[in-house]
Amino acid sequence: MNLRASPCMRLFVPFALGLMLGAWLDYPVPHLGKAVVLMACVVCLLALQKFSYRYRWVFGACCSLTLFLAGYFHVVNYNELRRPLHFSEKIKEERYLIGTIYDTPGKGSKMKVPIRVEAIGSSPDSMGAASGNLLLFLDFSPEVEGLRYGDRLGICANVFPTESAKNPHAFDYGRYLHFQNIHFQAFVKSGSLVRLSSGNGNIVWQAAFHCRDRLLSLLHRHFPTQNEYAVASALLVGYKEDLSDELRAAYSATGSMHALAISGTHVGMLYAGLFFLLKRLRLRGRKGRMVETLFLVSAIWGFAFLTGATASVLRATVMFSTYLLGKAFFRKASVWNVLPASAFALLLYNPYFLFHAGFQLSYSAVAGIVFFYPRFYKLMPLLPKWGDGAVQILLLGVAAQLGTLPLSLYYFHQFPVYFWLAGWAVVFGGALYMAGGAALVLLDGLWPWLAEWLGKGLYWLLWGLNQLIFGIQGLPGSVLGGIWLASWAAFAIGLLVVLLGAFLEYKRAKWLMGALGVILFLGVCRMVRETQQMRQAQLAIYYVNKNRLMDFFDGQSVVSLSDSATAKQVLFAAHSNRLASGARDLAEFNFAFDTAFAYFNFLFDPPFAQFFDKRVVMIDDARWVEKGNPRPLPVDVLMLSQSPRVSIAECQERFPFQVVVFDASNSWKQAGRWKEECERLGVPFHDVREQGAWVWHRSD
């Protein structure tokens, strides 16, 4: 890749760096917007000047600095909290709101409905204009499940800021919502919401969502079972809300999750089919090329809106549109210009896209395919046509995996070993289904009886595909799991991929030596980390709503104490910390276990736990603080659980402690009373529900 021949890449890099710095600092610089406009004028003037070779860098430096500052200004001012009339100034006094649903409601344990607030007040009769995004959490009901894009709602609820991750190394949902430009949430009770009107959204988006709903209804008729319907709707429409956890895990473990989102593969197949038909029309000359481009771009955008215009299909649509327009005007459009140009356009629309995992994975996968695939293919021997097609699919999968390797390890902590095998199944099965699905949509309106037979065939095709994916997931060693990467390690692996690519391109020893140097560096860091983990002693009291969960890390062995927390809650709260801490052996026990036991440097004798030199008493019942035994028992940590009716003073007299921890199983009211008493007595405390997990590390 020659950067001199890729001007869009040279423009994109400083702009993206400005976005990253602005998102990290999130601090508005006074008069920066005026400075950017002034510098842009200077750049325009410099573009008209002729510089000697010695000073050619002046224009480039000024242009790069302008783009860098423009990126910083753009992302900082995109934050909704800086918009006028934002409702955050009034939520403490006023709890009645009116807003319009601006995106498709999501499903989970509760219905998640994003609304754009239009008015707020202390009563329905005293509403004032307001702005800002708000995420509503609603219990499922027929009325709630009927909510659609463009519905205007009236609600009465307490609004709270979104919260950051409360457990170490856990997924930060608050940060995720921040990059959706959502900073507040509300849990709305049944009867506190009313639909005021419908059809208030953008007419184009409303038509897009309406088309998608009709397609989903059609698929539901022809695919009666849950798993097959979920895959059918994901492959054809990009709708993934109905995928079960089991199905998601199977496709993720086999590296096939990308197939369940309308993306570049689907748009590429549409483009290839239309391009094949247009070639038969023999359109020639500049006018013919423009007609061809206009038709292809219109068809691709029509497909995007027909499938609901999801984020993944919009990325692919912008990418292909940029390629087609570049090809129309410049005959030969370089992919290394198309990628940054399309990314630049998307980031001008929404700078937060840069921090979405889907955006990063999409562009890194395409970059990996564009760079590695042709070079790998040149190394392959000549094969028959049927074998050549299979090899091409294999090499495309390998190239995409190389491009996304650091990101997939960083985000998903696993590597699918049989991604190449699943890739063949998904590509061939998905291609057949995509063609059949398009025919199904057409036949359903013309010859329903024929559509019925085609639907049965497609149903068994997807049933077989799902069974094959489950089978590949069950193969021995199908997933290399338990991988934990810090951000700097992910960057180092990305650098390693780049250096290997440079060696493949230039065949020079310095690139190979650089790659070996990165491997050596990662190996040394791994050894140091393993040594530290083998000597670690860590105690973590996690945040699990209305439950208790504690981990005691003794080297790479973990003793876990919990009560009624579900496996899913434990996974969400503790799994990331266990991965980051290198846990390999896990022994799980229940707090109700009333028999004393020892496990390496851990001793449990309810209500006491001794971990190395750390003594913990866990009080979940007032009887443990009764004054039957007058002799105080000093401890390091007092943990209060399940709202026992005790006072801090009583606990301090019975168990003199250094710090008191209130876990998330206590009621808000009881924890509030304890905190007031602690502040009055000058006792240090930690409320897990508000402050997040309490973690202790032994200092060597």
Number of Cβ atoms within 10 Å of the Cβ of 633: 12
Starting at the earlier edge strand, list the strands of the sheet with 597-599: 597-599, 602-605, 608-611, 614-619, 637-640, 659-662, 685-687
Is residue 479 helix, strand or coil? strand
Residues 226, 193, single domain; the answer is no
Residues 524, 664, single domain; the answer is no
Domain that holds residue 11: 3-78
Residues 464, 550, single domain; the answer is no
Is there a domain that residue 588 lies in? yes
- Cα dihedral angle (163, 166, 170, 171), rounded to 10 degrees? -10
Residues 600, 514, single domain; the answer is no
| Amino acid 266: pLDDT | 67
d(CA 121, CA 123): 5
Asked if 587 and 600 touch (Cβ cutoff 8 Å), the reply is no
Residues 152, 239, single domain; the answer is no
| Amino acid 285: pLDDT | 64
Is residue 544 helix, strand or coil? strand
Residues 547, 689, single domain; the answer is yes
| Amino acid 683: pLDDT | 94
Tell which of 186, 201, 216 closes a domain: 201
Q: Tell me the residue ranges of DSSP E strands in 189-276.
A: 193-197
Asked if 397 and 254 touch (Cβ cutoff 8 Å), the reply is no
d(CA 586, CA 588): 6
Q: Mind listing the pLDDT tens digit for each residue in 586-629?
A: 999 988 776 788 888 999 998 899 999 999 999 998 888 875 56
Is there a domain that residue 19 lies in? yes
Q: How far is CA 216 from CA 156, 213, 235, 556, 698, in A?
A: 32, 5, 11, 48, 55
| Amino acid 261: pLDDT | 65
Residue showing tokens 């509030």:
672
Is there a domain that residue 343 lies in? no
Is there a domain that residue 554 lies in? yes
| Amino acid 330: pLDDT | 63
Is there a domain that residue 544 lies in? yes
Is there a domain that residue 42 lies in? yes
| Amino acid 4: pLDDT | 62
| Amino acid 629: pLDDT | 60
Is there a domain that residue 373 lies in? no
Q: How many domains does the chain have?
A: 5
| Residues of the chain with confidence (pLDDT) below 70 | 1-5, 51, 53, 261-266, 268-270, 272-273, 275-276, 278-286, 307-310, 330-333, 594, 627-630, 700
Give residues with Cβ within 8 angstroms of 146, minimum separation 6: none
Give me the amino acid identity at 658: Q
| Amino acid 627: pLDDT | 59
Residues 184, 125, single domain; the answer is yes
Is residue 340 helix, strand or coil? helix
Asked if 167 and 550 touch (Cβ cutoff 8 Å), the reply is no
Is residue 638 helix, strand or coil? strand
Residues 558, 645, single domain; the answer is yes
What is the pTM assigned to this prediction?
0.89
Residues 138, 66, single domain; the answer is no
The CATH number assigned to the domain holding 159 equals 2.40.50.140
Is residue 102 helix, strand or coil? coil
Residues 585, 676, single domain; the answer is yes
DSSP 134: E
The CATH number assigned to the domain holding 663 equals 3.60.15.10
Is there a domain that residue 645 lies in? yes
Residues 31, 166, single domain; the answer is no
Tokens of 348: 């001008």
